Amino acid sequence: MSNARRGMIGSVLLVVEALAKRSIGIISTLILARVLVPEDFGIVAIATLIMGFIDSLVDAGADQYLQRCEKITDDTVNTAWSLNIIIKLPILLILAVFANYISTQFNEVRIENILYVLAASSAITLLKNPGLIYLRRELNYKNIIKLSLFSKAVSVVIAISIALNYQSYWALVIGTCSEMLITTIGSFFLYKHKIRFNFSNLKEQWLFSSWMIPQSVIGFFRTQLDTLLVSNQFGKSSLGSYHVLKYLAFLPCSQIILPATNPLLISLTKIKSNYNYLISQYNMTYVVTMIVAGYITAFLCFRSELVINILLGENWIIYSNLLTIFAFLIPSFASLNQARRLLLIHGKTKVMFYFEILSLLVFIFSLFLFETKEIYDFALVRVIVEALTVHTFLIMTSLYYNGLVSTVRLLLAVIPVVTSLLASGYILNLFNFNFLLIVNGVLDILIFTALFFVFVFIQFILGFNKMEEWKYIFSLKQKLMNFK
């Protein structure tokens, strides 16, 4: 089977996995949001932010390194596993030692025990079987997806059981930890790999990771500094609402866009020697990604109240404007991921580090420049700065590596997506159904989807059928029909 077909199948399987996990997660969200209060989410959000910082501090980029290598061996894989342990384990021990001090700084004693549990769970996950990288490189995701769905389902059952019986924030913590532990244990049943400490390839991997770690740290502050500031400026209840809705808006990124585009790094790396073909495939994948990202963003914007009412309940509708704002993080994420992919193909990880620093400084400067007394104003500044910096970075990266003509083509190819979404959203607002919430949601999705494809097709016929990217996208239908 060709790499292109394997990549297509891998992307489809990962999207199916993400949608299935999201379906399971919706059940959890529907119940937990009604049983727990925003303050519970706020407490866990603080602990999650701390653990996120720890993860970024020790992110050696092992998976990215192994995926971009043309060939890997057991020694290479075990070196990545060993490097991950010697970097992360000492940091987790330090976190456990200072957990009490951290909880004092946040004036919340309950955070201490949460940090102990999360640190212990993270330490256990260091033992996860690194041999799964062989399956990922072969784009063989079947068993990995089965394990992922099983661990997610069990963790949701555990979280819901605890929430219903104890109405405690521990439901969120233990649910997260159980998923981590089940995934770690299950990884050894998927692929036979002899784990041992190995440092034969340490120097080469460290040269790659030495730029990935600071990039990850700066990237964490770039994406999470706003949440940290909200916790100090607006209180735990506001933090809980801010965190939950930001998380809700980010779900399409983590559960659909990221898994669907993960195989592209491997596929594009294998064709990087063919310059013209690489550029063509790079532009095409970006347009496809933006169709998905733009569709989700537009629907969340035009139907934010409906989405919140279905997922979280009426008590959360007052925060619907936050979801509308955060929805614009989705295309920014997709664009940044595309730029990062191009840099990884060329091995330029340090460039991402410089971007993270610059964008973080721009965000901090913007907060001083604009007065944000309301949480909605704060969120708006956050999203606008992200959009401007990310898309400027994407354009500059494309110009440097792919040239002016390719970059112009890339931008022009997105026009039908944007105009079709705006037109579809405008017409959708003319409809106002009074059925059950779920029925309203399904009807809105069907109408919005139909309108979107109609407008895209009209623009394709009127002139965009001459663009290579759109000709390829429309040819996918025939390819899929003939796919065996």
Note the pLDDT tens digit of each residue in 256-270.
Answer: 666 555 555 455 555
Of the listed ranges 5-14, 279-288, 292-301, 324-333, the least confidently predicted one is: 5-14
The pLDDT score that the predictor gives to residue 387 is 93
pLDDT digits (tens, 9 = 90+) for 23-62: 666 667 667 767 776 677 778 778 887 888 787 777 666 7
Neighbours of 71 (CB within 10 A): 6
- Could you tell me which residue, 15 or 313, shows the higher pLDDT? 313
Contact 99, 112 (CB under 8 A): yes
pLDDT, tens digit (0-9, with 9 covering 90-100), for 413-465: 899 999 999 999 999 988 888 888 888 888 999 999 999 989 988 888 887 77
Residue 220 CA to residue 208 CA, distance in Å, equals 19
Question: What pLDDT sits at residue 315?
Answer: 73
pLDDT in tens, 108-160: 788 899 999 999 999 999 889 988 888 877 777 788 888 888 998 898 899 88
Residue with more model confidence, 312 or 5? 312
Residues in the chain: 484
Q: Using 50, 70 and 90 to split pLDDT, how confident is the model at 298?
A: very high
Q: CB neighbours (10 Å) of residue 262? A: 20
Rounded to an integer, the average pLDDT of 283-288 is 83
Long-range contacts of 160-169 (CB under 8 A, 24+ apart): 160/27, 160/28, 160/31, 160/32, 163/31, 163/32, 163/35, 163/36, 164/31, 164/35, 167/35, 167/36, 168/36, 168/40, 169/36, 169/40, 169/41, 169/43, 169/44, 169/110, 169/114
Specify the pLDDT at position 265.
47
Higher model confidence: residue 466 or residue 308? 308
Dihedral angle computed from the Cα positions of residues 364, 327, 344 and 404, in that order, rounded to the nearest 10 degrees: -90
Q: What's the pLDDT score for residue 2?
A: 46
User: Which residue, among 219, 183, 248, has the nearest Cα to 352 in the 3D structure?
Assistant: 219
Q: What angle do CA 127, 198, 348 make, to 5 degrees?
A: 90
Distance separating alpha carbons of residues 391 and 173, to the nearest angstrom: 35
pLDDT in tens, 67-76: 777 788 888 8
Checking if the pLDDT of 481 tops 80, the result is no
Helix (H) / strand (E) containing 450: helix 437-462
Burial of 59 (0-12, 13-18, 19+ CB in 10 A): buried
**pLDDT score of 483:** 43
Instruction: Please tell me the distance from the alpha carbon of residue 26 to that of residue 237, in angstroms, as a whole number.
Output: 22
107: which 2 tokens? 């004036």
- pLDDT tens digits, residue range 228-249? 777 667 766 677 778 778 877 7
Sign of CA dihedral 386, 391, 396, 401: positive
Sign of the alpha-carbon torsion through 35, 36, 38, 39: positive
Give 69-134 as a 3 state SS string. CCCCCHHHHHHHHHHHHHHHHHHHHHHHHCHHHHHHHCCCCHHHHHHHHHHHHHHHHCCCCCCHHH
Q: What is the pLDDT of residue 120?
A: 93
Give the phi and the psi of residue 273 in degrees, each rounded to 5. Answer: -75, -20
Residue bearing the bigger pLDDT, 277 or 14:
277
Per residue in 178-219, pLDDT (tens digit) is 989 999 999 999 888 888 888 887 777 777 766 677 767 777
The whole-number pLDDT of residue 469 equals: 73
Q: How many CB atoms lie within 10 A of CB 461?
A: 9
Question: What average pLDDT does the segment 326-339 reach?
Answer: 89
Whether residue 308 has pLDDT greater than 90: no
Task: State yes or no: pLDDT of 96 exceeds 50.
Answer: yes
Give pLDDT tens digits for 342-360. 887 777 777 877 888 888 8
pLDDT of 395-425, one tens digit each? 999 998 888 988 998 888 899 999 999 999 9
pLDDT tops 90 at residue 363:
no
pLDDT of residue 113: 92
Residues with Cβ < 8 Å from 164, sequence gap 6 or more? 31, 35
Rounded to whole angstroms, the Cα distance separating 468 from 481 reads 20
What pLDDT shows up at residue 484?
43
Q: How far apart are CA 304 and CA 423, in angstroms?
A: 17
Residue 259 is predicted with a pLDDT of 58
What pLDDT sits at residue 1?
A: 46
pLDDT of res. 16: 65
